[in-house]
Amino acid sequence: MTTIKYGNQHDDSESHHEIISDGGSSNIGFGDQFDRSKLDSRILDLRDPADIALIADELAALTRQVEHSPQAKAHPEDLRALKEATASAAAGNGDSAKAALKSVGKWVLDTATAIGTPLAIQFLKTAIGLS
């Protein structure tokens, strides 16, 4: 189960939340939302074919970027794991994708952060245990 609770959102704040869930029940609870606040939240379920397809697309984009980075040559095992995760996600197997990502190095997460792939970032953090 995934449960996230946030406090009050005030003024002109903007919030965007994407949560990766292993299935089951999930919810997001928020405090007061005032007029000018903009809030966008979504729970992505690894068991939902549409959601895993989104994650697969982001992992594919990340894989293309990582392949061309200088670190890829120094870390071929991380690139192999990333490709395996991408293939698993494309095949609709979120559990296998998550398992494969557990063996990638932090530099892959740093690369995802640098190129701005939010779904891949969250999926990596979940797989690695940082979220």
Report pLDDT digits (tens) over 73-90: 888 999 999 999 999 999
122 & 74 share domain: yes
The tokens of 7 are what?
């406090």
37 & 7 share domain: yes
Distance CA 78, CA 89 (A): 16
54 & 93 share domain: yes
66-99 exposure pattern, b = at least 16 Cβ within 10 A, e = fewer:
beebeebeebeebbebbbbbbbbbbeebbeebbe
114 & 74 share domain: yes
Distance CA 125, CA 102 (A): 9
114 & 53 share domain: yes
40 & 93 share domain: no
Distance CA 105, CA 113 (A): 13
Top-confidence range, 2-6, 26-30, 39-43, 84-88: 84-88
Given a cut of 60, is residue 122 above it in pLDDT? yes
Q: What is the end-to-end Cα distance of the chain in Å, rounded?
A: 14
57 & 104 share domain: yes
54 & 72 share domain: yes
Question: Which residues are paired to 28 by β-bridges?
Answer: 4
31 & 53 share domain: no
Domain that residue 118 falls in? 49-128
Considering only residues 126 and 32, tell me which one the structure prediction assigns the higher pLDDT: 126
pLDDT at 92: 92
41 & 94 share domain: no
Tally of domains in the chain: 2
Half-sphere exposure of 98 (CA within 13 A, CB side): 18
60 & 111 share domain: yes
65 & 124 share domain: yes
Q: Which of 12, 30, 45 is the last residue of a domain?
A: 45
